[in-house]
Every structure is written in C-alpha cells, then in structure tokens.
C-alpha cells in the first residue's frame, strides 16, 4: 500500500500556511506546518515522520529559508526531499540563489491554485520516482543465475515504466508532444544501429533513455521555460541548469537505462567544437549517446512546429545538419544521417 503524501509547510505568516493547505486539500495530502525555521527543524527531527515535499518561505525572522534549505541539504535523511520556495521575490538573483542552496522550484506570492497543485504534484511524483530507483539498486551478485536474470528483467521493465511516467510529467509542462519523443527516440536508435562501435543493446538502451533528454526542464521556472521571445543572459543561465539538474536526479541509479538517461540529459547540448553546455565538452569527450541525441533532437525540433517557431522544410533542416557537421554535430554521425536520409525522413512523418 502506497503511503499518503506528506508535506511540510514553513511560513512565518499563518494565513499563508492556511491558504496553501486549503488549496492542496483537494488532492488528499497530509500536512505538518511551522512558522519559523527552528520549529521546522524540530518537526523534521521526529523519526516517525517522513515528508515527500517541503514548501518553504524565504523571508522569515531568525533563520531564513535559504539557511534552512542549505542545512537540510547536509542531512542524509532530508537531502533528497524536494524543497519548493514560497516567495514574492522573482528577481533572477533570488531565484538563482534558491537553486544554489538546493531548492527544486519556487511558487510566487500571491498564490494561484492551479500553479500550486501542478508543481506540488509534479515534484512529489519525481521524488517518489527517485526514491523508487534508489530502492531498486540492490545487490544481484548473490542471486542464482535464473533469479538474477528474472529480477534484472523486472527491474528493466520498472525502469521503462518510470521513464514513461517521468516523460509524461515533462510533456505536461512543455509544448513538446509525445510524438516528438517517439520520433526522436526512433531517430536515435537508427543512428545507433548504423554507428560502427555500437551494438544492438546500445541501440535498445538509447531508444528507451532518449525520451528523458529534457526531463530537467521540470525544474525551470515556467515564465522562463515558456517565454515567447529570446532569453536574457541571466534567463539562459537558469535554463541551462536543466541539464545538470536532470543529471543530479538520475545519476544515482546504477541501472543501465537510467545511467544512459543521466548521460543523455547531461550532454545532449554539448557541441562537437566545444561551444556547448553545461561543461563545454569537445569531440569524443562527449559521450556517443549525447552526440546521437543532440543530432536527433535538433532535426526533429527543426522540422516540426513549436510555440516559438514554424516548422522548417526537410530540405532546410538537412542543410542545417550538413552546415554544422564538425562544429555542432559529430561528423561521422552526420555522414550516417545523410547516407540513410530516406529512413530518417520516414521517421519524421510519424
């Protein structure tokens, strides 16, 4: 039986706590609350209470939200529990500081019911998924061969189900459809199939892991994620965090699909010439999974309508890939793409 979801709300204004509880009651959450940081720590020290999420005010007398969050992230028991800041401060500096001390998101005051419901639901789902994955990292070496194979198959099926769940969370917050994920995964598998040093297992892994490439965008503030125009420099810096945020979520798993997804999410914005992000990796220092998904994702994005752009023609998209051979994309992958172009175009018609 899955336990009820338990939320800790910390705010020095009791009315704010009541408003949040009233909004969230329709989803049957359990609540604890505190009006300052020290009371919150006392509640968290109770060994019989576990929390799925902490909603934390920033500006409080005594211990402010930044300090409390930073302290929580040093505790083995609470370091993985997601913290969402409740704040009226929406400047980039305050938001960036929140991410630096360990928060996963923020909700602005005055509160909007739909925003609170959606963000709380998404982050609790992600936290429970992460907890589930950690629990699956059990030692198989002492099992009999048959039992190992059977259990491994079950774990891989669980990983695939978890990837589907997390991908649905991403789709609910973006303008990308499930068809984008399907096309991009198929294109990635086809590139892997023709890449000389990869085998069928690699192609299968990348097919299931590729849909997780942008899962980190769930941590990007919606007003930045859905901004219709160009990003400012500060906004783009926040956007780039989606790669490392996703890696932090996924890297603790030792299972092959999640390990691959962590690599892909981390490196699919790197560029062959070293001008990409988040680490400026160059050439073959970028994992082949990241290089493959980088090409597949760009080709599909160019050839389909997005909120901020019209769809390009196939010809223009292919020319873009050609023009960026050896700068943005792995030259060998571009050659494979061009050699089997009809097959890749057929995927884009799905």
Structural domain spans, the chain: 6-130, 142-348
Dihedral sign for Cα 55, 224, 100, 294, please: positive
List average pLDDT for each run of 10 residues in the chain, which is 350 residues long.
80 93 87 93 85 93 92 90 88 86 89 89 87 63 48 58 61 58 91 96 92 85 80 89 89 84 95 96 97 96 80 95 97 97 91
> What's the confidence (pLDDT) of residue 345?
95
How many CB atoms neighbour CB 138 within 10 A?
10
> What's the confidence (pLDDT) of residue 28?
82
3-state secondary structure 239-275: HHHHHHHHHHHHCCCCCHHHHHHHHHHHHCCCCCCCC
Rounded CA-CA distance 214/171 in Å is 10
CB 208 within 8 A of CB 257: yes
Domain 6-130 fold is: Rossmann fold (3.40.50)
Tell me if domain 6-130 and domain 142-348 are identical in fold: no
pTM of the model: 0.58
Rounded CA-CA distance 4/2 in Å is 7
> What's the confidence (pLDDT) of residue 88?
84
How many CB atoms neighbour CB 210 within 10 A?
28
Helices 341-348 and 288-302, packing angle to 10 deg: 60
> What's the confidence (pLDDT) of residue 128?
86
Active site residues: 217
142-348 CATH:
1.10.3210.10
> What's the confidence (pLDDT) of residue 144?
42
């Amino acid at each position: 039986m899955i336990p009820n979801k338990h939320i800790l709300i910390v705010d020095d204004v009791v009315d704010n706590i009541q408003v949040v509880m009233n909004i969230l009651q329709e989803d049957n959450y359990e609540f604890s609350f505190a009006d300052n940081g020290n009371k919150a720590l006392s509640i968290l020290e109770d060994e019989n209470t576990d929390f799925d999420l902490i909603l934390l005010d920033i500006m409080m007398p005594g211990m402010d939200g930044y300090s409390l969050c930073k302290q929580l992230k040093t505790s083995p028991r609470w370091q993985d529990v997601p913290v969402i800041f409740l704040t009226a401060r929406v400047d980039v500096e305050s938001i960036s500081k929140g991410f630096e001390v360990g928060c996963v998101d923020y909700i602005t005051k005055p509160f909007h019911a739909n925003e609170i419901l959606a963000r709380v639901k998404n982050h609790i789902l992600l936290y429970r998924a992460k907890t589930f994955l950690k629990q699956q990292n059990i030692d198989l070496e002492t099992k009999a061969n048959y039992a190992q194979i059977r259990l491994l198959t079950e774990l891989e099926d669980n990983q695939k189900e978890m990837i589907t769940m997390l991908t649905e969370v991403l789709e609910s917050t973006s303008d990308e459809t499930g068809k984008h994920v399907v096309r991009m995964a198929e294109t990635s598998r086809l590139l892997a199939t023709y890449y000389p040093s990869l085998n069928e297992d690699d192609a299968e892994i990348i097919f299931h892991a590729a849909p997780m490439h942008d899962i980190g965008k769930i941590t990007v503030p919606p007003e930045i994620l859905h901004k219709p125009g160009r990003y400012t420099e500060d906004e783009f810096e926040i956007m780039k965090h989606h790669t490392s945020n996703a890696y932090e979520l996924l890297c603790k798993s030792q299972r092959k699909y999640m390990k691959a997804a962590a690599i892909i999410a981390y490196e699919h914005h790197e560029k062959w010439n070293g001008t990409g992000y988040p680490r400026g990796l160059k050439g073959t220092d970028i994992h082949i999974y990241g290089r493959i998904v980088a090409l597949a994702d760009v080709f599909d994005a160019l050839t389909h309508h997005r909120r901020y752009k019209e769809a390009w023609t196939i010809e223009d998209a292919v020319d873009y890939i050609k023009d960026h051979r050896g700068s943005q994309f792995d030259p060998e992958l571009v050659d494979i793409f061009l050699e089997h172009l009809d097959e890749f175009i057929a995927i884009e018609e799905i």
